[in-house]
Structure 1
Amino acid sequence: MVSLGGLARKIFGSANDRRVKGTRPRVEQINALEDEMRALSDEQLRGRTAEFKQQLADGATLDQILVPAFATVREAARRALGMRPFDVQLIGGMVLHEGSIAEMRTGEGKTLVATLPVYLNALEGKGVHVVTVNDYLATRDSGWMGRVYGFLGLTTGVIVHGLSDEQRKAAYACDITYATNNELGFDYLRDNMKYDRAQMVQRGHHYAIVDEVDSILVDEARTPLIISGPLEDRSEMYNTVDRFMLQLNPEDYEVDEKQRTTIFTEVGTEKLENLLTEAGHLKGESLYDVENVAIVHHVNNALKAHKLFQRDRDYIVRNGEIVIIDEFTGRMMPGRRYSEGLHQALEAKEHVAIQPENQTLASITFQNYFRMYNKLAGMTGTANTEAEEFGNIYNLNVVEIPTNLPVKRIDEDDEVYRTVEEKYRAITKEIREAHARGQPVLVGTVSIEKSELWADRLRKDGFTDFQVLNARHHESEAQIVAQAGKPGAITIATNMAGRGTDIQLGGNADMRIAEELGDMPAGPEREAKEAAIKADVQALKEKALAAGGLYVLATERHESRRIDNQLRGRSGRQGDPGRSKFFLSLQDDLMRIFGSDRMDGMLQKLGLKEDEAIIHPWINKALEKAQKKVEARNFDIRKNLLKFDDVQNDQRKVVFEQRLELMDAETVSDTVAEMRQEVIDDMVTKHIPETAYAEQWDVKGLREAVQTNLNLDLPVEEWAAEEGIDEEAIRERITAAADKAAADRADRFGPDVMAYVEKTIVLQTLDHLWREHLVNLDHLRSVVGFRGYAQRDPLQEYKQEGFELFQAMLGNLRQAVTAQLMRVELVREAAEAPPPQVPDMFGHHIDGTTGQDDFGEGAGTVTLAQEVAVSAEDRNPNDPTTWGRVGRNEPCPCGSGKKFKHCHGAFV
């Protein structure tokens, strides 16, 4: 019986079929222009770019010039690369131009497809970004496809790790820029820490095409991008809180060894509040007031360090350092540190030197970064299983593009064995048989560890000629993948390794030529050798085809159907034959998690003998259901991350937009005057409440506040004693005195210097408070989950308290800027110094599956300090350019006797 939906699809086709069908008329129009394009000279074809730009300037839309532009790119690709885009590639290009995801099978030429919409959208002159998963692909694709853009008169840039700001700015200024997702995100964050518009490298977010869109916008989007820098010394706070831990009794706290958590009881909380109040560290009455979120973080870490972590079990003290002990292996892990201030709490506990912790300077999720683009598109071989996520989060539709040639790959049902050992034996036997008949085999594994375990297994079983590919070095990955289609080749790979490079049967002739002939000069000898390599590759291809094409042999299922589909998709490119099969055991992670115990008992009762497998389509369906559950859980994790980051993102937008306005303004004197007036209003309102009698006024407190915030010693008590005076008159007198003091200072410095000083202080103060605010939000996020025990929604609590913290930050900004500007004194040289440089920073992106930092130790340095340390003898007190990097607490090299941060460091 056919459902109504199924019947409608049979008659009208699916929504996907109708969308693809809708592009056919334009494909025919492009094909009709082919002869006309071929008749043009190279110069005439290049001249089409200027014609298209003029049409756009005259009011034409991109859609109106799509057909001739695509026809132009197709001909340019044929001339520059010797590659003519197929009709299905034109369809893929149209889908990308519309701002959707083009799902195209492996080997269908996605890299070439991107040139069509990239060229069309680059004609607007606003910059187009092509996003890749690693530096190797960004460099390879920009050089390869850049030949097409260069042929048509457009410029191409590439952003990879290690470039200077000048190089980055030049690359972003190009018509087309290839870059990795991490570099784009870091550049955006760093730009919003600069002090001058001219220092910024990006020029907007107009249109981006994300290659391997599922990897970047789904897999890597589980965790945010973070830029961190060293915090100021907080060792005194750690030591103070540590001393309090020694005064706790067992009734003051609870420890859960199983969950590895500690918590203060009501009695303990009250005791701590009293201790902190006496030490002058508590703001307000309660430890859990929003202003004390950082202190809560300190005391929770200290409690963990004392009551949960044991010396010589969890860590040892060696050479004055805390060294972590791996709980599984019992080995020391020098160089590794606990995060979030826990390591510092242990250092305070053991009375060793407290190392500074890193502070989050800026962070953003990939979801919120890529949603900034006016138009976003993506391409991959596998997106349909995540279509709901792409639609919900990025407003991207997934369109399946038909293959150029029918797929001949045979996808066999899974073979399920009772034990891992039986599965190993079956796979080894299968590899041996395929190798004997000359069939190339790709052995898919779910992790780096499993790929290395399989390599050891094959060596023990007598295999010597195989390659291991596990995402360690992208360039060698490409070499291995390119030759994995040779007859009899055995390649062990992680499921994600080598994306972006096709496995061609017989091997990749171009890569062999580059590798074997190297820098051999052009000439008859090279041509002969190139021809011999191509002939050899063709002969090898025939052998591989005769053996059945590439055999994808998967050693277990991944938790995501999409990753499994990617692995299958390695085989059967461009109409080649191929085969894929998954080998499973009831001891695999996925099978174990989803009730393999009952299945094991059932199989034994049915009499399944050793080394026998169960093979049935129902097994496949049951596994797909299990995978769907895991996918749904991971989607919820990403949605939850995004919900919390949206709170920070709203605040981030306000701060970053405010910074841009401040940088672009000729002068910020009006803003500064408004801040000063608001500070005065707050002071007067606080000390002279509207409905209070004169004898209830806190006149002494107001005078002290004026002294602190405005650096003015005003006779407030005398004013208050005058007959009939009200709070408005006092406010006006304070305002007049403050305005006069500010005007006098501006006259002394001159308008240009004052404008520079005001802008610098506002920006630096905003940045400092924003970083502190990010730390507070991190601390709030780490504890807000406990509100769920009180039947309160943690997200709503986070929104509310995050907003209160943000409002408090803005109040602190007004107060700090006003106080600093009312005290500022500077020497002329400081005003003529270049704009301040951003601090040393380190980039982090934690891999959502492995928990490892993508950038490793120190590799994530996003910007290197422009200055180096200089000895005191080599510094000229009158020439700041000779000072190099100066520590914040060092004496200022100018000889004033003040600390650097209170002298020249206030403006640098």
Structure 2
Amino acid sequence: MGASSTRNQKKSLAIVAQAEEVRAELTQLDADTLRQRARDSLGNQAELLAVLGEIAHRTLGFEPFAVQLQGVLRLIDGDVVHMATGEGKTLVGAMAAAAFGLQGKRVHMITVNDYLARRDAQWMGPMVEFLGLSVGWINADMPAEQRREAYRCDVVYGPVNEIGFDVLRDRQVTDPSALVQAPADVALIDEADSVLVDEALVPLVLAGSQPGSAPTGRITDVVRGLKEDEDFEVSEDRRTVFLNEEGADKVEAALGISSLYDDEHVGSTLVQVNLALHARALLIRDIHYLVRDGKVQLIDASRGRVADLQRWPDGLQAAVEAKEGLAVTEGGRILDTITIQALMGRYPMLCGMTGTAVEATDQLHQFYGLGVSVIERHRPLQRFDEADRIYATVAEKNAAIVQEIAAVHATGQPVLVGTHDVAESEGLAEALAERGIEVNVLNAKNDAEEARIIAEAGDLGRVTVSTQMAGRGTDIRLGGADEADHDQVATLGGLAVIGTARHRSSRLDNQLRGRAGRQGDPGLSVFFVSLEDDVVVSGGSGEQITAHPDPDTGMINQKRVHDFIGHCQRVTEGQLLEIHSQTWKYNKLLTDQREIIDERRQRLLEEPDYAWQDLAKRASDRAAELADLPEEIRWQAAREIMLFHLDDSWAEHLELMDDVRESIHLRAIAKETPLDEFHRIAVREFKELVQRAVDEAVESFKKVTIDHEGAHLADAGRARPSATWTYMVSDNPLAGSGNSVLKGIGAIFR
């Protein structure tokens, strides 16, 4: 962050101090005068903060702290604000949004889920509306007309994926009146590190319906009978699997074929066998996905909840469905896709808030050019962060976790346990139930009860077991939601947070820690770690460490082992950053090409006769034949033809580049640089795409029937898909859990 950040902080504190002086004189103003004062204050930051603070007090009953005013100021200046959990980020974001709205800028308040979008819009709406600004929100089940109305508001709250899906759907319309979104000037992002870093490269996808392909029932049955280490091998990090010679022989014999590697089978049977094997060996029920209501539902590892719209690429999704004996869902041709990082790049201005921005400073600067401003706590932190408790094995660690929870619970102190997956959370809950300890479980199976469970987590004697706490969006208050027993819980030491393993990123650890010690309350945090945990195995791959557990407790207390755990986590963080950097280099060129397509699409939509003039110039005879048709019909017919071929060519380009990407690593064998080769192919193919789209549009213009009803594209076999659907592709379905996932899930807490 450096010296410039320090200067910004000093400047911000001085402005906030001035605002607090101005504030006293505002309390006597009537509503109309206060509104006018707000409009007149745009050139004076201290005055603006004072007015916003007074409006927040009148409309919401909140008295903003000085640190909250400082947060508002840094957001207005375009930073990512680092504010601890419980410091009132929701109000800070709404005040900043109101300030942007006063400047005539439309703001998208980016949330991580539907619940928070609706809650925050309704909660903060009165303050924004006091200024004559409109507030709306977007939810997944909202029809197009309601969405269109919401997007016209000055401040729009919406989940990041829904806003992205609306961008993709708008890229398919052929009439400007069908557009849903209105341009926004600012994206203000809650849980900014989660959206901008953890999920930055998650592709949002719009697909058109077409039959999918899956491993046949026969192939799934054959693969189910194979044995690990005997018929197939799994890599040490459990991210890849492959048949060995014995396994290939068994599959060939069972299917009655001579060789999986013959030309007739390599592109079909072998692909299906590999998909079935991947689904069988690497994707584990209740860790990577759930089966609910006859459907496979992916678990969002970064948030510990069901990812309703997320799926794996079609072949793998179908393989898991076949493995579970479910109906294989329809596949789809990808019509368009956008990563969240590219989606955020569409906004002229970005800013955001999170409790763990400092740890993501490098990524935020490297990929978005964003600075981080640290806002101090309103009250000093009273939480005690205990050193990790390290054990040799997962079994020893899990026994110690159960023992520690029981001991803390016996005192009446509330306990929040952060686990890494559904199976672990349920195994722990069962182990505690056997000891007579009642547990509230929050995981992907019951995330609809999320707000209630979190609100109660600070209650006297409460034990809450949750998967990933990032983006939960509800404060844990000591003594329960109404804080009735606040003082008693505080006397006991406040909320005790226990982590069952280190995450691959220290940011996620700190998000969990941050649930304790809210607003100066006492609290405790401690992480349990074993040398068999994924973060240690992955980050310490190839390294040896000698440990000497205490003979009585089994704990490992040597400093060098603690240092080694920290080293392993830093290695995994570096790996994640490198993956992000490399993946973005592949995605960036396609994003730039998409912008060129967007510009042409926008011109075709906005200039009524642009498509007609272009096609008439290239096929003047056909244009003359249509001269008697009304002008609007000719223009719309030409527009639909050109847009169809532009969109169709782009979909083909995406499909081709996806195939290229899958095999580009083979270029390294020929001493070529895969990334350079990918770019060379992408540039060459894109040039051909543009010309092909125009040539095919001219051919259709000449041949397709065009009458008073418009262009009959469907009759010529050029219909758009009858149905489209959206989903998110899980590019990294095997993101590691804290505990090694194949260590005996059914009994991990026995």
Length-normalised TM-score, structure 2: 0.82
Distance 1:234 1:466 in 2: 43
Structure 1 residue aligned with 2:668, among 782, 785, 788?
A: 788
Distance 1:610 1:774 in 2: 60
Partner of 2:729: 846
Distance 2:536 2:562 in 1: 12
Structure 2 residue aligned with 1:767, among 631, 639, 647?
A: 647
1:488 aligns with 2:461: yes
The letter for the 1-side match of 2:66 is D
RMSD, matched Cα: 3.7
The letter for the 2-side match of 1:508 is A
Cα displacement (A) at 1:568? 0.9
Partner of 2:29: 40
Cα displacement (A) at 1:499? 2.1
Partner of 2:221: none
Judging changes above 3 Å, is the alpha-carbon distance between structure 1 residues 327 and 164 closer, same or farther for their aligned structure 2 residues? closer
Judging changes above 3 Å, is the alpha-carbon distance between structure 1 residues 304 and 747 closer, same or farther for their aligned structure 2 residues? closer
- The residue correspondences of 1:288-327 to structure 2 (distance < 5 A) are 302-307=265-270, 314=276
Distance 2:268 2:316 in 1: 7
The letter for the 1-side match of 2:462 is A
Partner of 2:500: 555
Distance 1:595 1:410 in 2: 28
Check whether the contact 1:96–1:102 (CA below 8 A) recurs between aligned residues. Answer: yes
Cα displacement (A) at 1:497? 5.5
Check whether the contact 2:391–2:531 (CA below 8 A) recurs between aligned residues. Answer: yes
Gaps of 5+ in 2: 216-230, 235-239, 244-260, 297-310, 321-326, 714-718, 736-750
Partner of 1:113: 92
- The residue correspondences of 1:529-678 to structure 2 (distance < 5 A) are 537-538=483-484, 540-595=485-540, 601-603=546-548, 608-615=550-557, 618-667=560-609, 668-673=611-616, 676=618
Distance 1:119 1:557 in 2: 39
Distance 2:682 2:404 in 1: 58
Distance 1:849 1:453 in 2: 25
1:18 aligns with 2:7: yes
Partner of 2:637: 757
- The residue correspondences of 1:810-829 to structure 2 (distance < 5 A) are 810-829=690-709
1:453 aligns with 2:442: no
Higher normalized contact order (CA 8 Å, seq sep 6+, divided by chain length): 2
Cα displacement (A) at 1:130? 0.5
Distance 2:53 2:241 in 1: 61
| Structure 2 SS opposite 1:639 | helix
Partner of 2:475: 502
Cα displacement (A) at 1:159? 0.5
Cα displacement (A) at 1:600? 6.9
Cα displacement (A) at 1:234? 11
Check whether the contact 1:435–1:488 (CA below 8 A) recurs between aligned residues. Answer: yes
| Structure 1 SS opposite 2:157 | strand
Distance 1:596 1:299 in 2: 37
Cα displacement (A) at 1:260? 5.8
Partner of 1:426: 400
1:440 aligns with 2:414: yes
The letter for the 2-side match of 1:627 is Q
Structure 2 residue aligned with 1:29, among 6, 11, 18?
A: 18
| Structure 1 SS opposite 2:487 | helix
Distance 1:342 1:600 in 2: 38
The letter for the 2-side match of 1:102 is V
Cα displacement (A) at 1:27? 0.7
Cα displacement (A) at 1:472? 4.3
Cα displacement (A) at 1:325? 6.1
The CA deviation string for residues 557-608 of structure 1, in whole angstroms up to 9 with x for no partner, is 111111111111111111111111112222222233345998775416xxx3
Check whether the contact 1:260–1:308 (CA below 8 A) recurs between aligned residues. Answer: no
The letter for the 1-side match of 2:60 is L
Distance 1:422 1:356 in 2: 45
The letter for the 2-side match of 1:576 is D
Cα displacement (A) at 1:307? 4.4
Check whether the contact 1:466–1:491 (CA below 8 A) recurs between aligned residues. Answer: yes
State the aligned residue count: 670
Cα displacement (A) at 1:37? 1.3
| Structure 1 SS opposite 2:556 | coil
Partner of 1:682: none
Cα displacement (A) at 1:65? 3.7
Check whether the contact 1:419–1:587 (CA below 8 A) recurs between aligned residues. Answer: yes
Cα displacement (A) at 1:328? 8.1
Partner of 2:748: none
The letter for the 1-side match of 2:698 is T
| Structure 1 SS opposite 2:460 | coil
Check whether the contact 1:99–1:375 (CA below 8 A) recurs between aligned residues. Answer: yes
Check whether the contact 2:705–2:712 (CA below 8 A) recurs between aligned residues. Answer: no
| Structure 1 SS opposite 2:334 | strand
The letter for the 1-side match of 2:148 is K
Distance 1:440 1:256 in 2: 46
Check whether the contact 1:370–1:376 (CA below 8 A) recurs between aligned residues. Answer: yes
Check whether the contact 2:405–2:415 (CA below 8 A) recurs between aligned residues. Answer: yes
Judging changes above 3 Å, is the alpha-carbon distance between structure 1 residues 344 and 305 closer, same or farther for their aligned structure 2 residues? farther
Length-normalised TM-score, structure 1: 0.68
The letter for the 2-side match of 1:561 is S
Cα displacement (A) at 1:829? 3.1
Cα displacement (A) at 1:131? 0.6
| Structure 1 SS opposite 2:188 | strand
Partner of 1:700: none
1:462 aligns with 2:404: no
Cα displacement (A) at 1:378? 0.9
- The residue correspondences of 1:678-757 to structure 2 (distance < 5 A) are 739=620, 741-757=621-637
Partner of 1:372: 346
- The residue correspondences of 1:352-431 to structure 2 (distance < 5 A) are 357-431=331-405
Partner of 1:182: 161
Partner of 1:893: none
Structure with the higher helix share, 1 or 2 = 1
Judging changes above 3 Å, is the alpha-carbon distance between structure 1 residues 20 and 381 closer, same or farther for their aligned structure 2 residues? same
The letter for the 2-side match of 1:568 is R
Check whether the contact 1:414–1:619 (CA below 8 A) recurs between aligned residues. Answer: no
Distance 2:476 2:650 in 1: 48
Partner of 2:53: 74
The letter for the 1-side match of 2:492 is A
Flag the structure with larger Rg.
Answer: 1
The CA deviation string for residues 462-498 of structure 1, in whole angstroms up to 9 with x for no partner, is 22x2201124454411111111111111111123266
The CA deviation string for residues 840-879 of structure 1, in whole angstroms up to 9 with x for no partner, is 2222223456469xxxxxxxxxxxxxxxxxxxxxxxxxxx
Distance 2:616 2:58 in 1: 63
Judging changes above 3 Å, is the alpha-carbon distance between structure 1 residues 410 and 341 closer, same or farther for their aligned structure 2 residues? closer
Cα displacement (A) at 1:405? 0.7
Judging changes above 3 Å, is the alpha-carbon distance between structure 1 residues 477 and 760 closer, same or farther for their aligned structure 2 residues? same
The letter for the 1-side match of 2:109 is V
Cα displacement (A) at 1:184? 1.0
Cα displacement (A) at 1:801? 1.0
Gaps of 5+ in 1: 1-8, 56-61, 239-254, 263-297, 316-322, 347-352, 510-536, 677-737, 853-908
Judging changes above 3 Å, is the alpha-carbon distance between structure 1 residues 488 and 847 closer, same or farther for their aligned structure 2 residues? farther
1:778 aligns with 2:720: no
Cα displacement (A) at 1:612? 3.1
Check whether the contact 1:100–1:378 (CA below 8 A) recurs between aligned residues. Answer: yes
Check whether the contact 1:45–1:72 (CA below 8 A) recurs between aligned residues. Answer: yes
Distance 2:86 2:318 in 1: 51
The letter for the 1-side match of 2:441 is V
| Structure 1 SS opposite 2:529 | strand
The CA deviation string for residues 694-737 of structure 1, in whole angstroms up to 9 with x for no partner, is xxxxxxxxxxxxxxxxxxxxxxxxxxxxxxxxxxxxxxxxxxxx
- The residue correspondences of 1:869-908 to structure 2 (distance < 5 A) are none
| Structure 1 SS opposite 2:498 | strand
Stretch deviating more after TM superposition (405-414 or 779-788): 779-788
| Structure 2 SS opposite 1:508 | coil
| Structure 2 SS opposite 1:229 | strand
Check whether the contact 1:194–1:837 (CA below 8 A) recurs between aligned residues. Answer: no
Cα displacement (A) at 1:423? 2.1
Cα displacement (A) at 1:16? 4.1
Distance 2:374 2:329 in 1: 53
Distance 2:90 2:312 in 1: 42
